[in-house]
Chains A and B, each alone.
Chain A
Amino acid sequence: MAPSTHRAPASDAGSTPAGSDPAASARRGPRSVPGHPLLGHPLLRRLLLAAAALAAVAAVTTATGPVTDLRVANAGLFLLAVAGLQVLVGTSGQVSLGHGAFMFVGAYTMALLVVNVPALPLAAGMAAACAAGCLAGLAVGAATARLHGPYLAGATLMLAVGLPAIALRFPDLLGGANGLGFSTIGAPPALAGLVDDTQWRAIVVWTVALIGLVVLATASGGRLGRHLRAVRDDPTAAALSGVPVGRVRVTAFVISAGAGSLAGACQAYVLGTATPSTYGLALSLVLLAALVLGGLGSLWGAFWAALAIVYVEVAGTELAHALELDTDVRNNLPVVFFGAVLIIVVLAWPRGVHGALSALGRHRSTPQQTGDS
């Protein structure tokens, strides 16, 4: 491994825990863009990237109709959910099959607030959903901090199946199998005629998702991120270098659950409903599968994952319609298509789409170190 040419700031490098490979930490640490003193700060760079992404979303939704608006909104909220899962699975190495449960918490918090406290502004609802998710993550993380590998996977799998059943247990409060339905405000009157309701919702979702992503990128790029990776790569060495292993693992769960439940709140806001079947086992499995498909270890992997969740199914549905197949085949083609894509990607690109693309980039460009961002 050649030493990185773009070293992290000295303060960051100085606090690198001895348990992790220093070269790896420097490579994964914040990078600065040479020749741009203003762009040198990673937070500023992330904010600029987020603003550019929001502008792109606004442009795309303006140029297209409500169907695309809904898909774009879905891509945004899945991006946030998978990015949260990335921090947990990719960065801290804890495999969770229960991320859908945190989306459930967020969606129902949002729905309960809208139904019972209609006057509450949207931002407050989102913040409450995020807080509820963090609390749930704290509880789950504390309960599972000692578990590893398949044992953690089994416990979180039960969470994914068990938690949505709460809605069936308390039908008066949570609406049973039909869930909670409500209406959310559309575009503000000042923008009437310029932006329609579905487009406004897509923009709101992406604003929330991008804020969440900037927080996640900042958290996993800094000191906490180094601790997480140290715990992932060698818990014993991390503990010997003074990293509080248990606390770091729980923190990863809290952050991940906060992002997941914010994404769930966005989904409730977009759909105008929260039902237990939306947050079943299939959702949790698809989130983890898409994450591996996109690529572990980088938030860009979450981007490809979100596109895959939304558009592989769209492609499967459109393929079924184009081929004019009978009903049984048509209904099942999207899931078969997603499964086949998953198998092919895992076999062909074991490091996911992002891993394959960055290997391609390294191959083509001048030999320059690239790392996670």
Chain B
Amino acid sequence: MEHFANLTLNGLATGAVYAALALSLVLIYQATRVLNFAQPAFALVSAYVAYAVTSATGSYWAGFAAALAVGALLGAATERFLVRPLRNASPLSPIIATLGLLMVLQGAVGMVWGNEPLSFAYPLDYRGRFSPADAFALVSVLLVALALFALYRFTPAGLRMRAAAIRPEAARLSGVRVGAVLASAWALASAIGALAGMLAAPPFLAPNSFDLIFVFAIAAAVAGGLENPFGAVAGGLAVGVLLSYVTGYAGPELTALAALAVLLTVLALKPDGLFSRAAARKV
């Protein structure tokens, strides 16, 4: 039972990372209908910049702020210069373009900082069962999710974001600057992705650190339903706990297969994810 409780708590802490990355994927998918494969690369660049800033200033939190800023900047720039020019191309084109960006950024990080892992600091004490660092991960992700909910639901900016995503032409006619709104949605999402990177990076950071995390984040986002930020957070935490059980009771090499099995089961029952609304009737 002790083991089970430990696995659950560990799973929630790693699940927070999946939840944050899945949330950033869902926000971008909602805004522009693009599955952003460059998201782990944004998190990677942000984490490496944080490493550089922390090394230079000695302050973890200066690095943390720099990471969020770099993430937001990368997101906005990608929307403006890569995704917006492709908005009328086939749906695969922007996906492949972000895949190209993933390769470029991952390789560039390796060029600048080398392929060897660097030791990366925890924000808080990381020792013991459900350490302060684990609590920080979980609480920060839940706070971000709540803040997002409030932003989308109760503020004019959130209303503009929803309008620009759902009916771009009508939104433009009502005076919404659709381009700027979509770019800021990408910036916001990528800052959340950078947060995921900061939570996932310790203890060691390498150019391929986030590959597997990204795969599980996609699984979480898809299982929760790509239309639903709440589903992404719930999916991320569920995937984290589940993979923790699989690692603890069956072996770490089975995590991806277990995630695949669960994903297929979920999608067999609800092809658009657990938290999707019923789609239009099909023949």
Contacts and interface: CB of A to CB of B under 8 A. Distances in A.
A281 B100 contact: no
B215 A332 contact: no
**Residue from B215, B221, B259 with most neighbouring chain A CB atoms (10 Å):** B215
B267 A147 contact: yes
**Residue from B113, B115, B251, B257 with most neighbouring chain A CB atoms (10 Å):** B257
A141 to B, nearest CB: 12
Interface in A156-184: 157-159, 161-163, 165-166, 168-169
B96 A162 contact: no
A331 B113 CA distance: 12
Given A347-B97, A350-B90, A154 B107 contact: no
A285 B40 CA distance: 14
Nearest to B279: A148
Contact of A332 (B85, B100, B115): B115
Contacts of A343: 82, 97, 100-101, 104
B212 interface: yes
B231 to A, nearest CB: 12
Given A332-B107, A339-B103, A165 B93 contact: no
Interface in B64-116: 82, 85-86, 89-93, 95-97, 99-104, 106-108, 110-115
B118 interface: no
B256 A340 contact: no
A122 interface: no
Given A333-B107, A339-B100, A149 B93 contact: no
Contacts of B215: 157-158, 161, 281
A144 B222 CA distance: 13
Contacts of A150: 29, 35, 222, 226
Contacts of B85: 347
Given A339-B107, A343-B101, A169 B251 contact: yes
Interface stretch (A77-85, A218-226, A287-295): A287-295
Contacts of B52: none
B257 A162 contact: yes
A165 B101 contact: no
Contacts of B283: 236, 239-240
Contacts of B102: 339
A336 interface: yes
Nearest to B110: A332
B2 interface: no
B89 A350 contact: yes
A165 B111 CA distance: 29
A260 B101 CA distance: 26
A289 B226 CA distance: 22
Interface string B177-212: 000000000000000000000000000000100011
Interface string A327-338: 011011101101
Contacts of B222: 150-151, 154-155
B226 A350 contact: no
Contact of B93 (A240, A292, A336): A292
A261 to B, nearest CB: 18
Contact of A154 (B90, B93, B211, B221): B221
Given A157-B215, A158-B259, A281-B211, A342 B267 contact: no
A158 B260 contact: yes
Interface in A234-252: 236, 239-240
B29 A292 contact: no
B104 A339 contact: yes
Given A343-B97, A350-B90, A335 B106 contact: yes
A307 interface: no
Contacts of B254: 165, 169
Given A146-B268, A150-B226, A339-B100, A158 B219 contact: yes
A345 to B, nearest CB: 9
Contacts of A154: 218-219, 221-222, 263
Given A155-B260, A158-B256, A340 B219 contact: no
Contact of A335 (B107, B268, B271, B272): B107
Contacts of B89: 346, 350
A293 to B, nearest CB: 7
Contacts of B92: 89, 95, 292, 296
Interface in B25-79: 29, 35, 37
Contacts of A149: 91
B3 interface: no
Contacts of A128: none
Contacts of B272: 151
B97 A342 contact: yes
A350 B100 CA distance: 14
Given A153-B35, A336-B108, A342 B271 contact: no
A346 B107 contact: no
A51 B104 CA distance: 39
A329 B111 contact: yes
Interface of B: 29, 35, 37, 82, 85-86, 89-93, 95-97, 99-104, 106-108, 110-115, 207, 211-212, 215, 218-219, 221-222, 226, 251, 253-257, 259-260, 263-264, 267-268, 271-273, 282-283
18 contacts: A151-B226, A151-B267, A154-B219, A157-B218, A157-B219, A158-B259, A158-B263, A161-B215, A165-B256, A292-B92, A296-B92, A328-B113, A328-B115, A331-B110, A331-B115, A346-B89, A346-B96, A346-B97
Given A150-B226, A343-B101, 18 more contacts: A95-B92, A147-B271, A150-B35, A158-B259, A158-B263, A161-B212, A161-B215, A161-B260, A165-B254, A169-B254, A236-B282, A236-B283, A328-B112, A329-B111, A336-B104, A339-B102, A342-B99, A342-B103
